[in-house]
Structure 1
Amino acid sequence: MITPRPLDPAPPGGSSPRRVWYASYGSNMRLERLAVYLRGGRPAGAARSCPGCRDTTLPVRSVPVELAGRMYFATRSPVWGGGRAFYDPGAAGRVLARAHLVTAQQFADIAAQEMYREPGGELDLSGVLTTGRAVLGPGRYETLVCAGRLDGAPVLTFTAPWSMDEVPWAPPAPAYLRLLAAGLGEAGAWTGEEIAAYLAGCPGADGRP
């Protein structure tokens, strides 16, 4: 088993890193799924195609990490038909995730696709790198979060602007849940039993409001 990499929790500061760690806690933990965001196309079981990134290169490295906070399921995904995974960095707990080392431009293009925007623009990271959080809009994945640093590079992800207790929880579709389990298994840091217990324990997984 691989040991999850510890993060330096201090915000890295600065505004223009060349590379960043994209910390995925959802479907993009699996490299095959992330490749669709990078190269374009429609993943198996999904209802929406992705345009892809300007730079289609796969991540330089992918490592398992654990983020402070909580993952929960809420809203309804038009892609999967069930609740989506969100990250609440202010909640007590831990989030199993996989960090992919990508260029800052690739992260901007991945984030744009998650926000249902066209990739190709610039993403101002100065706010999230300085304060640890930047709200770019009211939508589902329009809030950037910096979870700290790893090997000197910022660890970034995106989530909703609300907290875990400010929205009704919703159960995820079985296919989506299986994809998350596959991504965590691919990371190589947790056993199948640990992964199953973790996902089952995330708020919304049991469908309770």
Structure 2
Amino acid sequence: MATHVWYASYGSNLSPQRFDCYVSGGRPEGARRTYTGCRDTAMPTGCRPTSLPGRVLFGGESSVWGGGTAFYDPQDAGPSLATAYRLTVEQFADVWFQERHLPVGGELPLAELIGAGEWVAGEDLYDRVLVAGAIEDEPVLTFTFPATVHVQEQPPSPAYAATIERGLIATHGLEREEAAAYIARLVSGRMPG
């Protein structure tokens, strides 16, 4: 079984600086929440730009940023830009638990997840983990809302959008105007093509 996975992030974790708060602990710029960090605070052993075949949308109400939160819909048209981080399975589980406002230390049923292509822990907004391909023979995972949950679309707050922009600039090499235009297309539902 795999010891490492690639976490494909499509929201604020597109920014490596912001993602570091999930690994090391801390409060991201513009956020209302401080993160505990992973049990293993070693930095990811890989970080690269990637994309997901579905659509990123914004919805609900973020308790961390205000405004809508980024979600991934694998059934809708894409592609969507993402940053992939190579993490241990334990680190990925800790990131996922923090994203769900749960204490770190839980486990992810990786064998079941890989076998089924997805795993759903409950009915909350990030309770569904998806297998989104592979990089160098290691699984690419991401998380989003369960298929049974409806997300009411709402635009992101300026602080959240700015964090996503910084991630697009840092990992995808976009200019600020290109990053802002990409986010505007996500909000409008017109995917970049």
Displacement of 1:204? 5.8
Decide which of 110, 116, 131 is 1:125's aligned counterpart: 110
> What SS is found at the alignment partner of 1:93?
coil
Name the CA distance, whole Å, in 2 between partners of 1:205 and 1:116: 28
Mark the runs of 5 or more structure 1 residues left unpaired by the alignment. Answer: 1-15
Post-superposition Cα deviations, 1:73-121, rounded to whole Å, max 9, x if no partner, equal 0000011011000000111121100000111110010000001111012
Displacement of 1:138? 0.6
Name the CA distance, whole Å, in 2 between partners of 1:142 and 1:132: 14
Displacement of 1:202? 1.0
Name the CA distance, whole Å, in 1 between partners of 2:186 and 2:98: 25
1:201 and 2:185 correspond: yes
Displacement of 1:153? 0.4
1:174 and 2:128 correspond: no
Counterpart residue type for residue 88 of structure 1? D
RMSD: 1.9
Contact in 2 for aligned 1:64/1:189 (Cα 8 Å): no
Structure 2 equivalent of residue 113 of structure 1: 98
| Runs of 4+ with >4 A deviation | none
Counterpart residue type for residue 78 of structure 2? G
Decide which of 94, 106, 121 is 1:136's aligned counterpart: 121
Name the CA distance, whole Å, in 2 between partners of 1:203 and 1:126: 35
Displacement of 1:61? 1.2
Structure 1 residues 1-209: aligned runs within 5 Å: 16-162=1-147, 166-203=150-187
Mark the runs of 5 or more structure 2 residues left unpaired by the alignment. Answer: none
Counterpart residue type for residue 179 of structure 1? T
Contact in 2 for aligned 1:90/1:163 (Cα 8 Å): no
Name the CA distance, whole Å, in 2 between partners of 1:90 and 1:27: 21
Counterpart residue type for residue 150 of structure 1? I
Post-superposition Cα deviations, 1:13-70, rounded to whole Å, max 9, x if no partner, equal xxx3100001010111111111111111222221111111011011111110011000
Name the CA distance, whole Å, in 2 between partners of 1:64 and 1:163: 30
Name the CA distance, whole Å, in 2 between partners of 1:189 and 1:48: 28
Displacement of 1:205? 7.7
Name the CA distance, whole Å, in 2 between partners of 1:186 and 1:152: 25
* Greater alpha carbon shift after TM alignment, 37-46 vs 67-76: 37-46
TM-score after normalising by structure 2: 0.92
Displacement of 1:163? 7.4
Displacement of 1:193? 4.2
Name the CA distance, whole Å, in 2 between partners of 1:93 and 1:108: 26
Taking a change above 3 Å as real, the CA distance of residues 143 and 204 of structure 1, as seen in their structure-2 partners, is: farther
Paired residue total: 190
Contact in 1 for aligned 2:28/2:34 (Cα 8 Å): yes
Name the CA distance, whole Å, in 2 between partners of 1:75 and 1:153: 32
Name the CA distance, whole Å, in 2 between partners of 1:45 and 1:181: 13
